[in-house]
């Protein structure tokens, strides 16, 4: 099935706290946000904006967000967590879906009607990437299961640092990264164009991942990273560090604010010019640079430069884009200090940031 027609992301793509820190939302703000797995859209509600206008080129990703919103709207937290697949579910998930179906658009309902197996196992880990993580976690545990358990259970940073340098960062680990994080694997196994179409920078992909992960583990416990949990465990395991939209304390806030979200299936530049999005003053566009050629990336920055009162957050993974020099940035002021801080603190650990404002 083509990449933009299948469910690629289903659980959590980015650290919601980093996004909220980047955008500094308030009650008058209107956010434009890529849907993805729906996690960032829901996370942004915790910043109390007036509106969140979400969009995605892939209709399956919007269908998933509709389903998550329906579950938040109609269920209590234990049933919500069980239905998604975060926890075990004492009732049949398909039966719960039949109850939620009335809250979906006709397009989303028709799509999920054909996804019974996905729904019965829980949608949380059903995306292309989440399935890959679960398979990879099983393989990694065969190779270094005891070390993974040790890494994920540290509660003191100094002890973790000693383990990191003495036992984790071995030549075997670097070889494993070299064999699994390279362009041929990205292109022919993962088939995610965001991982091979516009890779840039001086570091090979495996070295980039190695350096980003090592830097994170120097300053943060592994167990605090939802991404570490997915990569090494295949599931989220620590309720304290669940993604924000899966934490019980945030559930009533999300339930109250769901009406602020609108959805549209469309490409980026069509959305930017659409009347429903013209009042947006905050832009949460994730790792959009992975899918944009350089000319379109410059076009996006030019759009921001022409619009006063804007604040935006872009993430970079393997593309490793850089802010343009001041003479080309126009009205944009890049928040370099905040960018560097979030790159250190972000619990998804793989991203660098480009955060700008025209205020």
Domain membership of residue 203 as a residue range? 133-241
Q: In sequence order, which ranges of the chain are alpha helices (DSSP H)?
A: 16-23, 39-45, 59-74, 77-84, 93-100, 106-113, 116-121, 128-152, 157-163, 171-180, 183-185, 205-219, 226-233, 251-257, 268-272, 294-306, 326-329, 336-345
Residue range 211-236: mean pLDDT, rounded: 94
pLDDT at 148: 96
Tokens for 260? 């602020």
Asked, for residue 58, whether it belongs to a domain, the answer is no
Asked, for residue 315, whether it belongs to a domain, the answer is no
Asked, for residue 217, whether it belongs to a domain, the answer is yes
Tokens for 215? 């830097």
pLDDT confidence band for 197 (50 / 70 / 90): low
Q: CA-to-CA distance for 228 and 217, rounded, in angstroms?
A: 10
Asked, for residue 219, whether it belongs to a domain, the answer is yes
Residues 6+ apart with CB under 8 A from 161: 217, 218
Q: CA-to-CA distance for 136 and 14, rounded, in angstroms?
A: 19
Per residue in 292-333, pLDDT tens?
888 999 999 999 999 999 999 999 887 777 888 887 888 999
| pLDDT at residue 192 tops 80 | no
- The sheet that has 333-334: what strands, in order across it? 261-265, 51-56, 30-34, 282-284, 311-316, 352-357, 333-334
Q: What is the dihedral of CA 23, 69, 260, 289, to 10 degrees?
A: 40
Asked, for residue 322, whether it belongs to a domain, the answer is no
Residue range 69-97: mean pLDDT, rounded: 95
Asked, for residue 124, whether it belongs to a domain, the answer is no
pLDDT at 257: 98
pTM comes to 0.93
Per residue in 94-137, pLDDT tens?
999 999 999 999 999 999 999 999 999 999 999 988 998 898 88
Q: Which of 79-88, 128-137, 193-202 has the highest mean pLDDT?
A: 79-88
Q: Do the bridges between strand 311-316 and strand 282-284 make them parallel or antiparallel, or are there none, so unpaired?
A: parallel
- For residue 194, count CB atoms less than 10 angstroms from its CB and return exposed for 0-12, middle for 13-18, buried for 19 or more: buried
| pLDDT at residue 182 tops 70 | no
pLDDT at 191: 62
pLDDT at 199: 61
Domain count, the chain: 1
**44 neighbors 13 (Cβ within 8 angstroms):** no
Asked, for residue 84, whether it belongs to a domain, the answer is no
Straight-line distance from the first to the last Cα atom of the chain, in angstroms, rounded to the nearest whole number: 43
By residue count, the chain amounts to 359
pLDDT confidence band for 178 (50 / 70 / 90): confident
The structure tokens 């940035």 sit at 329
Rounded to the nearest angstrom, the gap between the alpha carbon of residue 289 and the centroid of all alpha carbons in its chain is 14
Q: CA-to-CA distance for 220 and 197, rounded, in angstroms?
A: 31
**DSSP states of 194-238 as a string?**
GGTTT--SSS-HHHHHHHHHHHHHHHS-GGG-HHHHHHHHSS---
Per residue in 54-74, pLDDT tens?
999 999 999 999 999 999 999
Asked, for residue 314, whether it belongs to a domain, the answer is no
Tokens for 205? 């992909």
Q: What integer best gives the mean pLDDT of the chain?
A: 91
């Amino acid at each position: 099935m083509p990449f933009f027609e299948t469910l690629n992301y289903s659980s959590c793509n980015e650290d919601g706290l980093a996004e909220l820190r980047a955008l500094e939302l308030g009650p008058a703000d209107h956010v434009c946000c890529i849907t993805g797995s729906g996690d960032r859209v829901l996370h942004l509600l915790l910043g109390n904006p007036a509106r969140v206008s979400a969009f995605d080129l892939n209709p399956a990703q919007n269908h998933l967000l509709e389903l998550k919103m329906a579950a938040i709207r109609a269920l209590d937290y234990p049933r919500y967590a069980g239905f998604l697949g975060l926890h075990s579910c004492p009732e049949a998930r398909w039966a719960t879906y039949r109850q939620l179906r009335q809250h979906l658009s006709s397009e989303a309902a028709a799509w999920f009607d054909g996804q019974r197996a996905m729904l019965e196992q829980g949608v949380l880990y059903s995306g292309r990437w989440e399935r890959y993580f679960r398979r990879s976690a099983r393989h990694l545990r065969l190779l270094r299961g005891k070390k993974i358990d040790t890494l994920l259970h540290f509660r003191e940073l100094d002890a973790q640092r000693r383990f990191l340098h003495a036992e984790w960062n071995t030549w075997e680990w670097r070889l494993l990264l070299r064999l699994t994080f390279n362009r041929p694997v990205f292109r022919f196994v993962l088939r995610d164009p965001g991982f091979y179409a516009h890779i840039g920078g001086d570091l090979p992909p495996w070295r980039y991942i190695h350096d980003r992960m090592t830097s994170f583990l120097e300053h943060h416990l592994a167990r605090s990273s939802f991404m570490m949990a997915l990569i090494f465990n295949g599931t989220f395991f620590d309720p304290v560090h669940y993604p924000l939209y899966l934490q019980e304390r945030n559930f009533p806030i999300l339930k109250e604010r769901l009406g602020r979200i609108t959805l549209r299936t469309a490409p980026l530049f069509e959305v930017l010019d659409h009347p429903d999005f013209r009042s947006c003053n905050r832009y949460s566009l994730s790792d959009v640079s992975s899918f944009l050629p350089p000319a379109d990336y410059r076009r996006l920055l030019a759009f921001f430069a022409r619009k006063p009162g804007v604040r935006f957050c872009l993430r970079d993974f393997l593309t490793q884009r850089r802010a343009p020099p001041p003479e080309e940035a126009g009205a944009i002021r890049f928040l370099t200090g905040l960018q560097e801080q979030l790159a250190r603190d972000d619990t998804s650990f793989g991203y660098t940031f480009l955060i700008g404002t025209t205020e």
